[in-house]
């Protein structure tokens, strides 16, 4: 039996479930996947965690504590937002 236990994406085993797992364990796998997704992408918002990237070239991802959105860098940005993003993204 290859039923795994995971709470984070990095703990998932990509070879599970196996063909020898019992069909009645399917709900256990689905519940675990839901837990992993909720832990890995926490949000109280119903909007997408990462908004649509179409036509957002040159912008940076920001949030208001609940929702994420695209921001436009400003020359001489006093908060250093664009620099912080460049450093974070390498």
| Cis check: omega of the bond before 38, within 30 degrees of 0 | no
Residue 48 CA to its chain's centroid (Å): 10
Which of 57, 58, 38 lies closest to 49 in space, CA to CA? Answer: 38
Say if pTM beats, i.e. exceeds, 0.75.
no
Torsion angles phi and psi, residue 33, rounded to 5 = -65, -40
The helix/strand/coil state of 2 is coil
Mean pLDDT of the chain: 78
What whole-number distance in Å separates Cα of residue 74 and Cα of residue 32? 43
Domain boundaries in the chain?
9-40, 46-90
Residue with the larger pLDDT of the pair 42 and 87: 42
Using one digit for the tens of pLDDT, what is the confidence trace for 6-45? 888 888 888 888 888 888 888 888 999 998 888 877 767 6
């Amino acid at each position: 039996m290859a039923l795994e236990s995971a709470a984070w994406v990095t703990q998932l085993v990509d070879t599970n479930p196996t063909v020898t797992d019992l069909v009645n364990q399917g709900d256990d796998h689905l519940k675990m996947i839901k837990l992993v997704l909720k832990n890995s992408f926490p949000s109280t918002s119903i909007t997408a965690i990462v908004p649509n990237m179409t036509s957002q070239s040159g912008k940076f991802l920001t949030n208001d504590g609940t929702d994420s959105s695209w921001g436009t860098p400003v020359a001489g940005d006093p908060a250093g937002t664009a620099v912080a993003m460049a450093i974070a993204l390498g």
